[in-house]
Chain A
Amino acid sequence: MSTATASADTHTEHDPHATNTGISNTKLAMWLFLGTECLLFGGLISTYLLYKTRGNGKTLPTDIFDIPFTSVSSFVLLMSSLTMVLALSAINRGDIERTRGWLLTTAMLGGVFIGGQVYEFTSFVREGVGFTTNPASSAFFTLTGFHGVHVSLGILMLMSLVVASVQGRLKPQNAETVEIVGLYWHFVDIVWIFIFTVIYLIPAE
């Protein structure tokens, strides 16, 4: 047997999950998934842009935006990205207690954001702008609702990591799991950065 084959065998023995790219399959899959999510949110944002002025004589979502309130929600979501990255940093140091704390803080900030969205939706309905009021409101609720569902799924993932850490199943060797959940969370934040500017801050014609 050649030396090369022997060396390959030894390598396999040391790292059974080795890949050609040097990146784990789960991390690669998450990035690929996030790439496809760009297409999903791109479609929803484009649809809203096309319909945002179609009110059929009824109130448009842009007429009743509460920018100061949404700004606070945006700031909360932005800061949750900081707490998420601090959770990853803590698990990379092997500090499980602090990891749990930061994961819980991230989930709570996500919960505050969702609470804000529920409040916004409720106030829209009270103002007479529901899902089927006009094409603009349908597109608005679909876009922000889809984003809200993504944030909620992120909170579930974060809470499952918190529960795993309480049960002692989250160990420093699982840092990549935290990183992958973090990638999803940061992506959700990135999408909101886009939505906040394009939908809320850029004035309608």
Chain B
Amino acid sequence: MSEAATGATAEHAEEHAHPSDWEYVKIAIVLGLITSVEVFTYFESVLDWGSFLIPSLMVMMVVKFWLVARMFMHLKADKPILSQLFMMGLVMATAVYVIALLAFDFF
């Protein structure tokens, strides 16, 4: 088999190398734990997060978003064009609505 063909086969195999069921369960456990911490922030009597509250919640939200998109939606293993398509919509939406919110003095 030629070197190019071997490379193409390896690339193809890598693209379709999805996690095992147990790995999916582990990801779900991580997602569940992050959600628990998020809910924990609601009970201020337990721990006062102060000015760290909103940044912490945003970071946890992004991590959950990233885990679902990369692992459950297989963006990590699929062709980059799919990530680019999705990111295009996401970035465009974020830009448009941040500008709109700025225009209405939301921040």
Contact = CB atoms under 8 A, between A and B. Distances in A.
A108 interface: no
Contact of B18 (A32, A46, A92, A202): A92
B61 A193 contact: yes
Interface in A52-103: 67-68, 71, 74-75, 78-79, 81-82, 84-86, 89, 92
Contacts of A74: 35
Contacts of A197: 38, 57-58, 60-61
B86 A46 contact: no
Interface string A180-196: 00110011011001101
Contacts of B54: 202
Contacts of B13: none
A39 interface: yes
A22 B79 CA distance: 9
Contacts of A39: 89, 92-93, 96
A67 B65 contact: no
Contacts of A203: 53
Contact of B65 (A28, A36, A194): A194
B19 to A, nearest CB: 9
A127 interface: no
Contact of A186 (B21, B38, B72): B72
A18 interface: no
Interface in B31-51: 31-32, 35, 38-39, 41-42
B90 A38 contact: yes
Contacts of A46: 97, 100-101
B32 A79 contact: yes
A35 B89 contact: yes
Interface in A158-172: none
Interface of A: 21-23, 27-28, 31-32, 34-39, 41-43, 45-46, 49-50, 67-68, 71, 74-75, 78-79, 81-82, 84-86, 89, 92, 179, 182-183, 186-187, 189-190, 193-194, 196-198, 201-203
